Chain A
């Protein structure tokens, strides 16, 4: 048994989704290799080699891999698949794009979004937006799996000393080209790895009023999220959406402001450590899952919170 994890990296650092996958892989009890693909991967490969619990780092370096295209990375991983019983990827948009393509190339089914490893063949995963938890068993020779980051702590990014070598794989040519990225610039922590998340819903009222949510988040060094209703109302962009169709988060503290608590939102944040709900409607379903609820007008409460923290 041996596990390969396809690493997601940015600016020479390994992303938290990958570090969570390393922890999930450790539960399989087999050696773990990391595959790092890219144009200039020296820094990322170095970072990967220091991740605790990693046995070896394989690199695939090519100008064509400058952008993380599943069309190119999947065939590279396919060439290595014969050496592995498990291939894991974090269930980020990178992993969700890549893993099924790789599984189909390998002729196997794929297991999405695991939240628990029972044994080497058996896993738990949420279905129906987390309203049910399935236990599934795979008989595929190579199991291609995506790992839900919020269900596994990130592996330590230091302490390892894995050897780095070039993977024995060739890079093809893609019929797809990268045109541009419009990345949301922010000094705030990332939603999926922040200790504190402050999220706003439709109750915030407007794009302008959302500034109050940002203000509280900045005071707490928190990431900012939003409900789908707030995104649909145009208050904030979609990459801030927390929920079944957005991001899954599990911070130590989650503050829901003006969010009623639709099932699909709760699916994305119910694993949080402590949940605070601030809402003027005391019947709002969000209070049914909140550890601390404060009924009142968020437009008064938020400035008061900011001034008193």
Chain B
């Protein structure tokens, strides 16, 4: 069984985002970049399925400039077998990424697609669902448990109010939620090994996909700051403020 895992290079989740002075976008110059945390969970899940003997090959795909190879090599250090980079300059839309993944799959014919539920930069939460739609295959988003048996995937999803479990025919798309697993650390020998794993580079033109970003970014502003209030000295004072000043009790 072949699994395709898509990964995105994003600002490291520990770095505080700054908006550019001209409000054109956020400032990513000289910023630490990492694999999107949800994508890392997706890679880990695929590796666990491989260790369990369910998955035989893991193909990691990333869309973007050459720098994304850094995150692809990291995914390979975790256990992905080979990589396909789709070279693009700008960050394409979720629909474009889904179309590129669908095109890649014409050659790859994967049985399972594991993607992060969202990237922590654009916070879109779209690509997995779009890929499932384009391939006309089932989806299970926000997964907290994945079991594969007899050509089917049983996936528990984290939804408002609790958990829902679905059974899907394969091929299928799974998007990962935080608690699906805790990714391992990449050991040094694995990092060295990963440098020798095959990594193919394809262009958007080669794949015959026309990028179609119909959503234009007009401006980016910092959010309205909330001001610090006052410290109160006791429970009585707190209740007094809440009852009489704020009038919320």
> Which A residues contact B (CB, under 8 angstroms)?
67, 69-71, 74, 92-94, 96-105, 107-113, 122, 126-140, 174-184, 190, 192, 196, 220, 228, 231, 237-239, 244-245, 247, 252-253, 263, 270, 273-276, 282, 287-295, 301, 304-305, 308-309
Contact = CB atoms under 8 A, between A and B. Distances in A.
Contacts of A74: 133
Contact of A176 (B140, B217, B220): B140
Contacts of A69: 166
A239 B160 contact: yes
B232 A263 contact: no
B239 A247 contact: no
A289 B123 CA distance: 23
B43 interface: no
B228 A97 contact: no
Given A174-B138, A293-B230, A140 B158 contact: no
Given A71-B139, A127-B220, A247 B129 contact: no
Nearest to B19: A132
Given A131-B17, A178-B166, A183-B162, 20 more contacts: A70-B139, A98-B129, A102-B133, A103-B126, A104-B134, A128-B17, A132-B222, A134-B217, A138-B215, A175-B168, A176-B168, A177-B166, A182-B165, A228-B178, A252-B248, A253-B246, A275-B226, A282-B231, A292-B231, A301-B235
A34 B166 CA distance: 27
A175 B137 contact: yes
> DSSP majority for the A interface?
mixed
B246 A291 contact: yes
A130 B123 CA distance: 9
Contacts of B178: 228, 238, 245
Contacts of A282: 231
Interface stretch (B60-68, B76-84, B91-99, B187-195): B91-99
B129 A97 contact: yes
Interface string B132-162: 1110011111101000000000100111111
B214 A108 contact: yes
Contact of A96 (B125, B218, B223, B232): B125
A294 B137 CA distance: 52
Interface residues on B, range: 35 or more
B238 interface: yes
B123 A112 contact: yes
A176 B169 contact: yes
Contacts of A107: 95
Given A97-B142, A174-B138, A289-B228, A135 B165 contact: no
Contacts of B219: 134-135
Contacts of A71: 132, 138-139
B123 A101 contact: no
A94 B160 contact: yes
Contacts of A309: 239, 249
A127 B164 CA distance: 28
Contact of B130 (A104, A228, A237, A270): A104
Contact of B238 (A134, A137, A275, A294): A294
14 contacts: A70-B141, A93-B159, A105-B133, A109-B93, A109-B213, A126-B123, A138-B214, A176-B140, A178-B164, A178-B165, A179-B165, A238-B177, A245-B177, A301-B235
Nearest to A272: B226
Contact of B158 (A177, A180, A238, A270): A238
A91 B133 CA distance: 19
B26 to A, nearest CB: 5
Nearest to B182: A232
Contacts of A301: 235
B160 A135 contact: no
B215 A103 contact: no
A133 B220 CA distance: 6
B94 A132 contact: no
B133 A100 contact: yes
A192 B159 CA distance: 13
B11 interface: yes
B223 A109 contact: no
A70 B130 CA distance: 11
B236 to A, nearest CB: 7
B137 A109 contact: no
B201 interface: no
B32 interface: no
B239 A308 contact: yes
Contact of A274 (B93, B133, B248): B248
Contacts of B19: 132
